[in-house]
Amino acid sequence: MALIKRAHGAEHPYWAFGPFKIRLPLLHYRIEMPEVIQGLVMFVVGLAMIPLLEKYLGMPYEAALAFTFIAGLGYILPAMLGVPLVPGWITPAIPVVILYLKGFEPGPEAIKAMFALQIEVTIIFLILGITRWGSKLVDIIPNSLKSGIIIGAGIAAMMGELKVGGRIDATPFSLIVGSLISAYVLFSLSFKNVVDTNPLAKKIANFGMVPGMLIAMVVGWGVGEYPLPDIEWGITQPDFALMWQYLVFSVGFPGWDVFLLAIPTAVIAYVIAFGDIIVGFTLVKRVDHIRDDEKIETSVDRVHVVTAIRNAIHSFFAPWPGLAGPLWTAAHATVAERYAMGRKAMDSIYSGGGTFWITGLVALFILPLVTLFKPVLPIALSLTLVLTAYICIMVGMEQLKNPTERGVAGIVAVTLAMPDPKSTVYAVAIGLILYYLIERPKLLGKHNPDDEIIFAGGDEDEPEKVKKKETA
């Protein structure tokens, strides 16, 4: 139980500190046992970055493992500083980052390149957060473009798993079974009906992705898609001394030419992360109206500043191909769904997200867990990508208001999902052009949203023009 209690209908207690609202476990919020159990399993997704660190940055396993501890410290910052989102990576940007890193030799050159990219992402988030331009972007960017980016990121995440040579080819049984079970527990309407009447189903629902993850691992081991683990006992001992050899303090800082090369990838990563922020707050708003006992503040600017801090930490102490993103979509959806069950299920949105990643950090020190999950790291990442795809497409479609917006968003999404490192730049450009050419009733001059014209059926040659009704 937390020492400081929340009054019904109020914002959760905090200590004000500049732009942040500090909340500490046990003092401000209670520990949620379902999130403890989830954290002891789902922390494995953080370990899934290790193979990329080994392959593209050229570091040994022990140093890469130490990087995951730095990442673990960053994961606990958002809930602590007043952000109601479960943080993660900028996951859909990983393929773009890898294409960028392929231009550098693994080792010191790749580490310098990764530093340049991540520090630029830090600067973008920091400037937009401090100037409050980040929150203005939410209103300025056309709805069709925002939704198209979200949907396109979802499609790209799914296609990465389904493409020829993807994980569906290597591990079809574990991936398909795990995805179906996770989707059923998290999103199925029929399962929600069972939860209302069956205590066992309600307990299963409390654990979100965990049942699907565990069953996928068992299936993978059972059919030989993954090797059996070699479990070791004791406490994990990451090699921080070795890790220091793979930081810019040891390998040196990059030249200006590397910073220039990193700019397009940094901008692409931010655009995708911006879509994650929209998805995260949309999921929060969907459950916020269900609970009248807590007022949840959604500050886009604070998300930007906290994400900038996490990327700055990574830049200097753990260059990270996944980058530090504002949202782990699948985990946040799990927390949001359980939050909607009421205060007895989860006291606060912060107690859910905070407990999840504090437990995840502790789990990194439990050597039997780390070695148990080591062989199945790829399936953890795959299930995250598949569920992220579903949520992105669902939320993106939900925000589109009329056929015109849906058409523009569809073109943006398809363009973004193309296997081209510049696809995000093309998608944004095409989205803006189509918005001005197709959506606006006045190509030039001031735009009044109440004057928008949508096409609601009628003959193809003479579509019926219907004036958009004024919305509250």
pLDDT digits over 134-165, tens only? 877 777 888 898 888 888 878 888 887 887 77
Q: How do residues 37-53 score in pLDDT, each as one tens digit?
A: 889 988 888 888 888 89
Q: What distance in Å separates the CA atoms of residue 3 and residue 31, rounded to the nearest whole number? A: 12
More confident residue, 338 or 20: 20
**What does DSSP say about strands 294-295 and 20-22: parallel, antiparallel, or unpaired?**
unpaired
Residue of 49, 388, 372, 373 lying closest to 209 (CA atoms): 388
In Å, how far are 147, 187, 206, 349 from 414, measured between CA atoms? 12, 25, 35, 34
Kindly list the domain boundaries of the chain, sorted by start residue.
27-171+226-441
pLDDT attached to residue 446: 62
CB 375, CB 227: distance < 8 Å: yes
Q: Is the pLDDT of residue 442 over 80?
A: no
- Which pLDDT score is estimated for 125? 96
CB 331 within 8 A of CB 387: no
Buried b (16+ CB within 10 A) or exposed e, 245-258: ebbbeebeebeeeb
Mean pLDDT, the chain, integer: 86
The identity of residue 48, as a single letter, is: A
Q: With 50 as the cut, is the pLDDT of residue 54 above it?
A: yes
Beta carbons of 311 and 118 less than 8 angstroms apart: yes
The Cα–Cα gap between 150 and 313 comes to: 27
Secondary-structure breakdown of the chain: helix, strand, coil percentages, each rounded to the nearest 5: 65, 5, 30
pTM for the whole structure? 0.82
Write the pLDDT tens digit of every residue in 170-198: 888 999 999 999 889 888 889 888 888 88
pLDDT at residue 461 in the model: 45
**Cβ 107 vs Cβ 58: under 8 Å:** yes
pLDDT tens for each residue of 236-293: 988 999 999 999 999 999 999 999 988 888 887 888 888 889 888 988 988 888 888 9
Residue 28 amino acid letter: H
